[in-house]
Amino acid sequence: MTAIWLFLTTYLVVGSIWFWLTLLASVALGLACVAKEAPITLGLLLAGTIALVFGANSINPIEFVVNNWPWLVAGALAYLPLGAAFSLARWRAYAVSKRDAYDQCKRDFLEARNIKTAGLRPSEMRIPDELMQTWLEHLSRKSRTIYPNGEQSVSTINPSPADLIPQIAEHKARAINWIIYWPWHLCWHLIKDSIEWIGKSIKRIAQNMWYRLRDTFESIANSAWKGVDDDKRDIPAPPPADAEGSAGGSANGSPSGKGASASRGGLRDTVQ
């Protein structure tokens, strides 16, 4: 134990290579705690690191606070608002990710029933009336995919899409962790989410550009073909076949009907 303490007091001096390696290891373990959503473990890790550095450098915590309290107060006043701002940004990103998961669930449902959704905005994807009940039953099963590990309680009996909106009351612990440990969460999401976020942003921008271009393309085509509907006219149906025969017989001078009978009757009288 004495040898360990001697090592710490000798090599774990502020500014030494071992000091920076210790901080680096602490940050790496802290990021692992953020990834595993273990805030208590992260708090213990930070407290242990501070105690180790203070002890190895023979720093009295009380004297440190007394001698540096203006800086500590200023740091706290800046730290908490930054954490609050970061938590709002993370909450928006969380809500958007859940909406994206819902839209993908809806798209998969329609595509599985041969309803094309390619090129459609999420707001343009409509559930047919005859599939509404089937859609709600499908949504009740997929709600656990949108909120895995019980992130939010969702009714599994005829849930409404509005029931899937993130509720901050059920994510209070997550928001508090974002505020308290925002530097670690920021580093983690910069490493983990930056590439994914950039990719999604590029995809979203490209889709919005395509939607606008699509409307322009359709407008150009409609303008070029303006008036073509006038070339379509309703063609009258041909007369019935028996009507054509009667009309044809009259036109050729053929006797028909009562006229023909009267002519035959007159001929018989003459012969008699």
Report CA 136 to chain centroid distance, whole Å. Answer: 18
Is residue 52 within 8 Å of 7, Cβ to Cβ?
no
Shared domain check, 173 and 129: yes
Which pLDDT value is given to residue 266? 47
Closest residue by Cα to residue 200 from 88, 101, 85:
101
Residue range 66-71: average pLDDT?
Answer: 88
With cut-offs at 50, 70 and 90, classify the pLDDT of residue 262.
Answer: very low
CB proximity list for 128: less than 8 A, separation 6 or greater: 115
Shared domain check, 158 and 80: yes
Residue 174 belongs to what domain range?
69-182
Shared domain check, 81 and 54: no
Shared domain check, 75 and 127: yes
Closest residue by Cα to residue 191 from 32, 7, 8, 73:
32
pTM above 0.75, yes or no: no
Residue range 256-271: average pLDDT?
Answer: 46
Report the chain's mean pLDDT, rounded to a whole number: 80
Which pLDDT value is given to residue 84? 94
Which pLDDT value is given to residue 243? 53
Q: Is 218 part of any domain?
A: no
Shared domain check, 154 and 86: yes
Shared domain check, 148 and 84: yes
pLDDT tens sequence across 40-55: 999 998 888 888 888 7
With cut-offs at 50, 70 and 90, classify the pLDDT of residue 249.
Answer: low
Q: Is 243 part of any domain?
A: no
Shared domain check, 74 and 101: yes
pLDDT tens sequence across 203-232: 888 888 888 888 889 889 988 888 777 777
Three-state DSSP at 112 gives coil
With cut-offs at 50, 70 and 90, classify the pLDDT of residue 3.
Answer: low
Closest residue by Cα to residue 44 from 31, 56, 54, 30:
30
Measure the CA–CA gap between 206 and 202, rounded to whole angstroms.
Answer: 6
Q: Which of 10, 37, 59 is the last residue of a domain?
A: 59
Which pLDDT value is given to residue 85? 95
* Residue 263 or residue 223, greater confidence: 223
Report CA 16 to chain centroid distance, whole Å. Answer: 48
pLDDT tens sequence across 85-99: 999 999 998 999 889
Q: Which of 166, 182, 198 is the last residue of a domain?
A: 182
User: How many domains is the chain built from?
Assistant: 2
Q: Is 241 part of any domain?
A: no
Q: Which of 182, 210, 239 is the last residue of a domain?
A: 182
Shared domain check, 107 and 32: no
Residue range 3-28: average pLDDT?
Answer: 74
Q: Is 159 part of any domain?
A: yes
